[in-house]
Structure 1
Amino acid sequence: MAVNPVFNRIDKEAAQGGYAGFGTQQQGGYAQQGYAPPQGQPTFPAGYQPGPSESMSDQQLRDLYDQPPAGPAQTGRLTLDDVVVKTLVLFGLVLASSAVTWFVVGAQPDIATPVWLLGMLGSLGLSFAIAFSKKVNVGLIVSHAVLQGLFLGAISVTFEARYPGVVSTAVVATLATFVGMFIGWKAGFIKVTSKSRRIFGMFAMGYLVFLLVNLGASFLGFGDGWGIYGGPLGILISLLGVGLASYSLAVDFDSVDRAVSGGAPEKYSWLLGHGLVASLVWLYIEFLRLFAILQSSD
């Protein structure tokens, strides 16, 4: 949850000059490298070369040139609309699962810990299974969204009971940060480079290990249940988590842009939507923890 390995595969394929089955065929005599044929350029089957006996008439050539060029929907390529739709579908599943869990756990507070542990560890395990799977498994992606909803609903109702108002504050902060990061990335104020990706990946993986260690420490009673976050550096560590989760969104935006412009297959829209939702959930959890720590220190 603290790192999004989904985009590593997409970025690697984009860096290799295209995606399997896309942007490497000879089309109308033009060697394409990740781009659609020029406007009005007739498209021939891969490897087809008209011979002397197969010469086209002037009328046939005019008919080919008059045809509208094939768009992404016809070629099976990824579009931004595909990513938006899949992201909204998965985000809706997370919200629905969270709402159901909120009411169930709110009525039975004793089951809160088992439910959020199931949601957290289950979604974490599935996230790596999805990331390293050779195929896009929509079933796993949907199951991951449901498990994230279980985690969010249970942990949110638990925090709200102890720190009233913290959930609404975290929601507003998450949405504001999402919008701010998108504007900053789109305007070029927030840069995403190959070097920054590598540095971010190392920090994120280290932070994930830290979170798992801290989870064990909190169950052992360290820091009054906060684990390492309960110490004097708790607020600083929380701010670091918020910063990492925020930059994760910029990396996600950049990866979506590269996948769309690189002609990725449409099926990748599920992976991209899954990654965006995972980063958004991560950011919300970091804000939830930060505001709870601040409220408890008053």
Structure 2
Amino acid sequence: MAVNPVFSRIDKEASRGGYAGVGSQPSGYPAAPQGSPTVPGPNFQPGPSESLSSEQLQQMYAQASAGPVQTGRVTLDDVVVKSLVLFGVVLAVTGATWFLVGDQPGLTMPLWLLGMFGSLGLSFAIAFSKKVNVPLIMVHAVLQGLFLGAISPTFNAMYPGVVTTAVVATMATFAGMFIAWKAGFIKVTDKSRRIFGMMAMGYLVFLLVNVGASFLGFGDGWGIYGGPLGIIISLFGVGMASYSLAVDFDSIDRAVSGGAPQKYSWLLAHGLIATLVWLYIEFLRLFSILQRD
């Protein structure tokens, strides 16, 4: 969850000058459906067998230019709708898992590990797949719900109210980062993307090492977070996840303005929800450490 390869993939395709399946027709002149008269381009010269009546020409030129929906390109509405769908799946599975582990505590750790490692591995499979695989994206959302539904009640039982605090902090940070990015207070550049990508990969390795350390009993089950630097590391994690939101917003904006295929709306939504889950986990850990101390 500490790195989002989905947006890196989309940005690479954009930097190469476009997306597969987009841009094959001149802008504003999409291919006409089979059986319909061809839409004349700027340099159209009708031949003997292509003469059009004045009424046909008038009708064609009176039509509005094709928008993103008609040309099969992603829109902001597409991303918002897909994000809400995935967010709803995560919430539903989280709630169901919460009640399940409440009745059967022995399932907490298996579901926790399945959700954590399953969603992490699947996120890379989705990102590097040559095709947009919607079923895999839905399974990823289910796995994230399993993880959240197993870990949240565990932390809430040890530190009452910590889940509510983490949820409020996550939503507030999401809104704040969007406003700051939109207003230009937070910049996302190619250089900052590269630096963030390297730092995120390093942080991911650190998190995996910490999971191993916690299972071995280091830091009273907290791993490296159980030491004196726990709060500082947690704050760093919150900062990383927060900036990842700005990168996500900027990547979505690039995809929409660059004319990415409509199918990419699922990838964009998947990446955004993954970042939200990451941010929530970082806040959950931070507030738990603060209550513990």
Alignment partners' CA distance in 1, 2:29 and 2:172: 40
Where do 4+ consecutive residues of structure 1 move more than 3 Å?
Answer: 42-45, 47-53, 55-59
Number of residue pairs the alignment of both structures matches? 285
Alignment partners' CA distance in 2, 1:169 and 1:145: 22
1:106 to 93, 102, 108: 102
Q: Deviations over 1:125-155 (max 9, x none)?
A: 1000000000000000000000000000100
Who is 1:250 aligned against?
A: 246
Instruction: Report the CA distance shift for 1:48/1:20 in structure 2 as closer, same or farther (over 3 A).
Output: farther
Taking structure 1 as the reference length, what is the TM-score of the superposition? 0.92
Who is 1:2 aligned against?
A: 2
Say if 1:181 and 1:246, in contact at 8 Å, map to a contact too.
yes
Alignment partners' CA distance in 2, 1:138 and 1:49: 44
Who is 1:12 aligned against?
A: 12
Per the TM alignment, residue 52 of structure 1 is displaced from its structure 2 partner at its CA by: 5.0
Say if 1:115 and 1:154, in contact at 8 Å, map to a contact too.
yes
Alignment partners' CA distance in 1, 2:11 and 2:39: 28
Per the TM alignment, residue 107 of structure 1 is displaced from its structure 2 partner at its CA by: 1.9
Per the TM alignment, residue 111 of structure 1 is displaced from its structure 2 partner at its CA by: 1.9
Instruction: Report the CA distance shift for 1:85/1:92 in structure 2 as closer, same or farther (over 3 A).
Output: same
Alignment partners' CA distance in 1, 2:193 and 2:218: 33
Q: How does 1:2-151 map to 2 (within 5 A)?
A: 2-25=2-25, 27=26, 32=27, 36=28, 43-44=39-40, 50-51=46-47, 53-151=49-147
Q: Deviations over 1:13-39 (max 9, x none)?
A: 1112221121243x3xxxx4xxx459x
Determine what percentage of the aligned residue pairs are the same residue.
78
Alignment partners' CA distance in 2, 1:48 and 1:146: 52
Who is 1:158 aligned against?
A: 154
1:169 to 162, 165, 172: 165
Secondary structure at the residue paired with 2:253? helix
Alignment partners' CA distance in 2, 1:242 and 1:43: 52
Instruction: Report the CA distance shift for 1:104/1:49 in structure 2 as closer, same or farther (over 3 A).
Output: farther
Say if 1:156 and 1:167, in contact at 8 Å, map to a contact too.
yes
Per the TM alignment, residue 106 of structure 1 is displaced from its structure 2 partner at its CA by: 1.6
Per the TM alignment, residue 59 of structure 1 is displaced from its structure 2 partner at its CA by: 3.2
Per the TM alignment, residue 264 of structure 1 is displaced from its structure 2 partner at its CA by: 0.8
Pair 1:211 & 2:196 matched: no
Secondary structure at the residue paired with 1:223? helix
Gaps of 5+ in 1: none
What letter corresponds to residue 59 of structure 2 in structure 1? D
Say if 1:119 and 1:150, in contact at 8 Å, map to a contact too.
yes
What letter corresponds to residue 138 of structure 1 in structure 2? V
Q: State the Cα RMSD in Å.
A: 1.8
Say if 1:18 and 1:24, in contact at 8 Å, map to a contact too.
no
Say if 1:22 and 1:264, in contact at 8 Å, map to a contact too.
yes
Gaps of 5+ in 2: 31-37
Q: Deviations over 1:46-101 (max 9, x none)?
A: x9864354243443322211112222221111111100000000000000000000
Per the TM alignment, residue 187 of structure 1 is displaced from its structure 2 partner at its CA by: 0.4
Secondary structure at the residue paired with 1:237? helix
Say if 1:163 and 1:295, in contact at 8 Å, map to a contact too.
yes
